[in-house]
Chains A and B, each alone.
Chain A
Amino acid sequence: MAVEVAPQSAAPSLRRVRFALAMRSLRENWSLFLGTRIGVIGLAIILFYLVLALSHPILMNTVWDERIYDPVVGYAFDETRQPAPPSRSHLLGTDPLGRDILSQLMHSARSEFLLGLLAAVVTVTIGTTVGAIAAYYGGVVDTILMRFADLMVMMPGISILIVLSALIGVEHFELALIIGILSGFGGASILLKSQALSVVVKPYIEAARAAGGGPAHIIFIHIVPNLLPLSFLYMMFTVTGAIFSEAILSFLGLLDVRMSWGLMIHTTEAAGYLLQVGKYWWLIFPASLSITLLCSSFYLVGRAMDEVINPRLRRL
């Protein structure tokens, strides 16, 4: 009887120990992360834009009149000439079509986050799976997957996106999928495979195999969780890439999106205000700076996480 009871009472305590261990390593990593400073700066910028993105729907429903402040079809009736300079009712002024810049900025922030997140999740899902499979099976499977990854890495990303958007209509969702697939089968799977190779030779993989674990079990239960820190790191860089590509494509007017930061600059360019930087600064700076800041903040967070995760970069 005692033998049967023991595992039942041991299970929760084991879970509690695991939880405590996880919390401790999380706390340690967090303090390491805080020590990098660049990561903190990046995180602060991301939080700022997150607040902007989340408060847009609230503002639209409470303070802002939809006819004036709608980012796409609104018109600032209270201004006599467009683009109007910043004022109390329009903190960042209006664009050449009479739409509120701040509202556009906040509205676009949300779609940038969604785009980045989706692209990153697709990338990492593909990359982790392909990397783990290539490392686990080796041989022919490995060769085929890695040659394919080489091919993907060599693909000129922006150029392929330009050609694709000329061939088919591309929106945010499709764009995120394309970016995710390109970088998932490319750089992500190469990087994660090299990490998976060091996991595959660990004794617990051998033990799992001896205990009768099939390939799927070993890959998804034992290898993939050990790749997660690195893949999370890779996600940050993918987000940067995705937001950047979207901005470039919509700046060139190649995307079928209704509003985005790149499109705001495209509108400015189309209306001919592009080189009047000093006089019409609010048409150019808010959107451009937002793209730059959000891209670099994710990049900085990625760099900081690299310092935490990569043991070879730890301070002695």
Chain B
Amino acid sequence: MASYLLSRTIQILLTLFAFICIVFFLVNAQPGDISNVYAMNPELPPDARERLQSQFGLNQPLWQQFLVYVKNVFTGSFGLSFSHYPRSVADVIAERLPRTVALFFTATVFSFYLGFMLGKIIAWKRGGWTEYATTLGGVTLYTVFTPWFALMMIWLFAFKAGWFPIGKFLDPVLWREAPIEANTLFGRMMLTALALSIVVFAVFLATTRLRISGARLIQLGSLVVAVGVMIGIWRATGTGNLAWDIIKHMVLPVLTLTLISFAGTMLLTRNSMLETMREDFVLAARAKGLPEKAVRDKHVARNALLPVVTSLVFSLAFAIDGGVIIESVFSWPGMGQTLVAAAIAEDLPLAVGAFVFVGIFVLLAHLAVDVIYVFLDPRIRY
């Protein structure tokens, strides 16, 4: 196990290195350099231009520039952003990465759950009208033109109904006299969510492993208690309404992301279920006289889960990637929106920095899924 993880980590690091190489050469493949911006300026004397080039290290050979670049990437210095001057790229990214992670993690969990549940049902009722309707609806949502769909959601739920704010991360009027910075508060919110999910997961694991009767009731009760305690603590600190403001801004993007991405999981679960349903142990389970629901949930679905988990990698990459659009439409100030805004404003350092971080994020997700996979499938031993 340890050696497997080590080799995977080394592999991921190599991939990261290759990724950085590609980014560097993409940037350098374009003609000219940063001093060309001043080349058209007749007032700039040639020696000033040369000084500029040597200041930026652009007169060095390419391989030396590359070494400096790699060193900078691994020490986290991507230079200064043009459009957020004088903030550094690393600073902008450090502010925005948590927001993206929070958004996508929530959405991925929801869409995975929804997709798996629906996939189970439509595989069991193959050929019925439920299947056709769900498949058509799911595929339409999956391939829907994301900006348009997001816009319709905004128009319907925010513009017409007025249930949610139209976009952005928080309401500036509410935050004008806030005693705390939004980033600090958001960090605390994420810690709370982490603690909550750990508690719920532990209870869930304990009740299923120990085979306690009435497990459902205990799980539900612990969930309610945990959420109640959490809300109580937030109320006590007096920043509850600010946190609620951020959550209100999060609902619509998460809902949209869930709706557009659940179909991938659903269709994969269906196919995986159909393959598993042919196995002999399913026949045996039925012959034992087990109720259909037990056969479906305990025998088929658990074995069908494996390829679906593998696909989580792709769906996560898809979510981050598709999230570029969602974030720009909802003006959610995360990595994707930063990337698009930087690309449109030709803020090259920020665009490259954001791109490298998106890449790192996807690579880490791959590693995480490998670990999860080992836990899920007892047949795999490294």
- Give A residues with C-beta under 8 Å from B: 37-38, 41, 147, 150-151, 153-160, 162-168, 240, 244, 247-248, 251-254, 265, 274-275, 277, 284, 288, 291-292, 295-296, 299-300, 303, 306, 312-313, 315-316
Contact with A along B130-173 (1 / 0, CB 8 A): 00100110011011111111011011000100000000000000
Closest chain-B Cβ to A150's Cβ sits at a distance in Å of: 7
Q: Is B343 engaged at the interface, CB distance under 8 Å to the other chain?
A: yes
Residue in A150, A156, A254, A284 whose CB lies within 8 Å of B359: A156
Residue in A244, A284, A306 whose CB lies within 8 Å of B143: A244
B362 in contact with A156 (CB, 8 Å): yes
How big is the B interface, by class? 35 or more
Contacts of A244 in B (CB 8 A): 143, 145
- 5 additional A-B pairs beyond A153-B317, A154-B19, A156-B358, beta carbons within 8 Å, are A151-B19, A156-B355, A162-B343, A162-B351, A315-B126
Contacts of A158 in B (CB 8 A): 321-322, 324-325
Complex A-B: 23 CB contacts under 8 Å: A38-B132, A38-B139, A41-B136, A147-B11, A147-B14, A151-B15, A153-B314, A154-B15, A154-B366, A156-B320, A156-B362, A166-B348, A247-B145, A252-B340, A254-B344, A275-B151, A288-B147, A288-B148, A292-B143, A295-B145, A300-B136, A306-B271, A313-B275
- Complex: A150 Cα to B155 Cα, angstroms: 39
Residue in B145, B146, B322, B355 whose CB lies within 8 Å of A163: B355
A277 in contact with B145 (CB, 8 Å): no
Contact with A along B245-270 (1 / 0, CB 8 A): 00000000000000000000001000
Contacts of B321 in A (CB 8 A): 156-159
Q: Is B363 engaged at the interface, CB distance under 8 Å to the other chain?
A: yes
- Complex: A296 Cα to B267 Cα, angstroms: 14
B140 in contact with A292 (CB, 8 Å): yes
Q: Which 4 A-B pairs have the closest CB atoms?
A: A288-B148, A166-B343, A295-B143, A291-B145
Contacts of B50 in A (CB 8 A): none
B343 in contact with A254 (CB, 8 Å): yes
Closest chain-A Cβ to B249's Cβ sits at a distance in Å of: 17
Contacts of B343 in A (CB 8 A): 162-163, 165-166, 254
Closest chain-A Cβ to B102's Cβ sits at a distance in Å of: 18
Contacts of B11 in A (CB 8 A): 147
- Complex: A244 Cα to B11 Cα, angstroms: 31
Contacts of A265 in B (CB 8 A): 145, 147-148
- Complex: A94 Cα to B76 Cα, angstroms: 50
Contacts of A295 in B (CB 8 A): 143-145
A151 in contact with B275 (CB, 8 Å): no
Q: Which residue of A lies closest to B277 (CB)?
A: A316
A303 in contact with B148 (CB, 8 Å): no
Closest chain-B Cβ to A254's Cβ sits at a distance in Å of: 7
A248 in contact with B275 (CB, 8 Å): no
A312 in contact with B148 (CB, 8 Å): no
Q: Is B109 engaged at the interface, CB distance under 8 Å to the other chain?
A: no
Closest chain-B Cβ to A166's Cβ sits at a distance in Å of: 4
Most chain A CB inside 10 Å of its own CB: which residue of B135, B149, B343, B355: B343
- Complex: A45 Cα to B362 Cα, angstroms: 35
- Complex: A306 Cα to B140 Cα, angstroms: 18
Contacts of B29 in A (CB 8 A): 167
Q: Is B111 engaged at the interface, CB distance under 8 Å to the other chain?
A: no
B339 in contact with A300 (CB, 8 Å): no
B144 in contact with A300 (CB, 8 Å): no
Closest chain-A Cβ to B329's Cβ sits at a distance in Å of: 9
Most chain B CB inside 10 Å of its own CB: which residue of A38, A240, A296, A300: A296
Contacts of A316 in B (CB 8 A): 278
B324 in contact with A159 (CB, 8 Å): yes
Contacts of B18 in A (CB 8 A): 151
- Complex: A288 Cα to B19 Cα, angstroms: 34
Closest chain-B Cβ to A149's Cβ sits at a distance in Å of: 11
Most chain A CB inside 10 Å of its own CB: which residue of B147, B274, B314, B355: B147
Q: Is B26 engaged at the interface, CB distance under 8 Å to the other chain?
A: yes
- Complex: A303 Cα to B328 Cα, angstroms: 30
Contacts of B354 in A (CB 8 A): 159
Residue in A159, A251, A254, A312 whose CB lies within 8 Å of B358: A159
A291 in contact with B139 (CB, 8 Å): no
Most chain A CB inside 10 Å of its own CB: which residue of B15, B132, B321, B348: B321
Closest chain-B Cβ to A70's Cβ sits at a distance in Å of: 25
Contacts of B324 in A (CB 8 A): 156, 158-159, 162
Contacts of A151 in B (CB 8 A): 15, 18-19
Contacts of A277 in B (CB 8 A): 151-152, 155
Q: Is B30 engaged at the interface, CB distance under 8 Å to the other chain?
A: yes
Most chain B CB inside 10 Å of its own CB: which residue of A166, A167, A288: A166
- Complex: A150 Cα to B12 Cα, angstroms: 10
A288 in contact with B136 (CB, 8 Å): no
Given contacts A156-B321, A167-B26, A248-B325, contact A303 B145 (CB under 8 A): no
Residue in A154, A288, A300, A312 whose CB lies within 8 Å of B145: A288
Closest chain-A Cβ to B119's Cβ sits at a distance in Å of: 13
Contacts of B127 in A (CB 8 A): 315
- Complex: A150 Cα to B140 Cα, angstroms: 28
Most chain A CB inside 10 Å of its own CB: which residue of B144, B278, B336, B342: B144
A299 in contact with B142 (CB, 8 Å): yes
Contacts of A164 in B (CB 8 A): 26
- Complex: A37 Cα to B15 Cα, angstroms: 42
Q: Which residue of A lies closest to B363 (CB)?
A: A154
Q: Is B107 engaged at the interface, CB distance under 8 Å to the other chain?
A: no
